[in-house]
Structure 1
Amino acid sequence: MLTSAAEPLLAVRALESGYGKIRVLHGIDLTIAAGEVVALLGPNGAGKTTLLRAMSGLLPVTAGHIRFDGRDMTNATPRDAARAGLVHVIEGHRVFTQISVTDNLLLAGYDLPRAERSGRIEEALSFFPEIAEKRHERGGALSGGQQQMLTVAQGLVRRPRLLMLDEPSAGLSPVLVDRVLDVIDRLRQQGTAVLLVEQLLEKALASADRVYALVQGAIALEAPTGESDLPHRLERAYFGHESHALGV
Structure 2
Amino acid sequence: MPISAGEPLLNVAGLEAGYGKIAVLHGVSLRVMPGEVVALLGPNGAGKTTLLRAVSGLLPVAAGEVRFAGRDFKGVGPREAARAGLVHVIEGHRVFTQISVADNLLLAGYDLPRAERARRIEEALESFPEIAAKRGDRGGALSGGQQQMLVVAQGLVRRPRLMMLDEPSAGLSPVLVDRVLGVVGALRAKGTSVLLVEQLIEKALAVSDRVYAMVQGRIALEAGADEPHLPHRLERTYFGGESPMHVYS
TM-superposed deviation, 1:70: 1.3
Match of 1:140 in 2: 140
State the match for 2:93 in structure 1.
Answer: 93
SS at match of 1:147: helix
Partners of 2:41 and 2:78 in 1: CA distance: 23
Residue equivalent to 2:103: 103
SS in 2 for 1:64: strand
- Contact 2:57/2:78 (<8 A) preserved: yes
Gaps of 5+ in 1: none
Q: Deviations over 1:181-234 (max 9, x none)?
A: 111111110000111100011101111110000000000000001111211211
Q: Which moved more, 1:202-211 or 1:106-115?
A: 106-115
Matches within 5 A, 1:192-203: 192-203=192-203
Q: Tell me the residue number matched to 1:218.
A: 218
TM-score (ref. length: structure 2): 0.95
Specify the code of the residue in structure 1 equivalent to 2:209.
Answer: D
| Structure 1 position 236, deviation (Å) | 1.4
- Residue in structure 2 matched with residue 152 of structure 1 by the alignment: 152
The one-letter amino acid paired with 1:30 is: L
Per-residue deviation at 1:243?
4.6
Q: C-alpha displacement at 1:244, in angstroms?
A: 2.4
Question: Match of 1:123?
Answer: 123
**Aligned counterpart, 1:208:** 208
| Distance in 2 between residues matched to 1:174 and 1:199, nearest whole Å | 13
- Counterpart of 1:224, as a letter, is G
**Shift in Å, 1:54:** 0.3
Q: d(CA) in 1 for partners of 2:242 and 2:64?
A: 24
Q: Equivalent residues in 2 for 1:1-248 (5 A)?
A: 6-245=6-245
Q: Distance in 1 between matches of 2:118 and 2:155?
A: 15
Q: Separation in 1 of the partners of 2:5 and 2:153? A: 33
Flag as ranges the 4+ runs of structure 1 deviating above 3 A. none
Quote the Cα distance in structure 2 between the aligned partners of 1:105 and 1:33.
28
SS in 1 for 2:244: helix
Aligned AA (2:82) = A
In 1: Cα distance, 2:35 partner to 2:221 partner: 21
Secondary structure in 1 aligned to 2:62?
strand
Percent sequence identity over aligned pairs = 77
Q: TM-score normalized by structure 1?
A: 0.96
Kindly indicate whether the alpha-carbon contact (under 8 Å) linking 2:222 and 2:245 is maintained by their aligned counterparts in 1: no
Tell me by how many angstroms 1:245 deviates.
Answer: 3.0
Deviation at 1:180, TM superposition (A): 0.8
2:54 & 2:209 partners in 1: Cα distance? 23
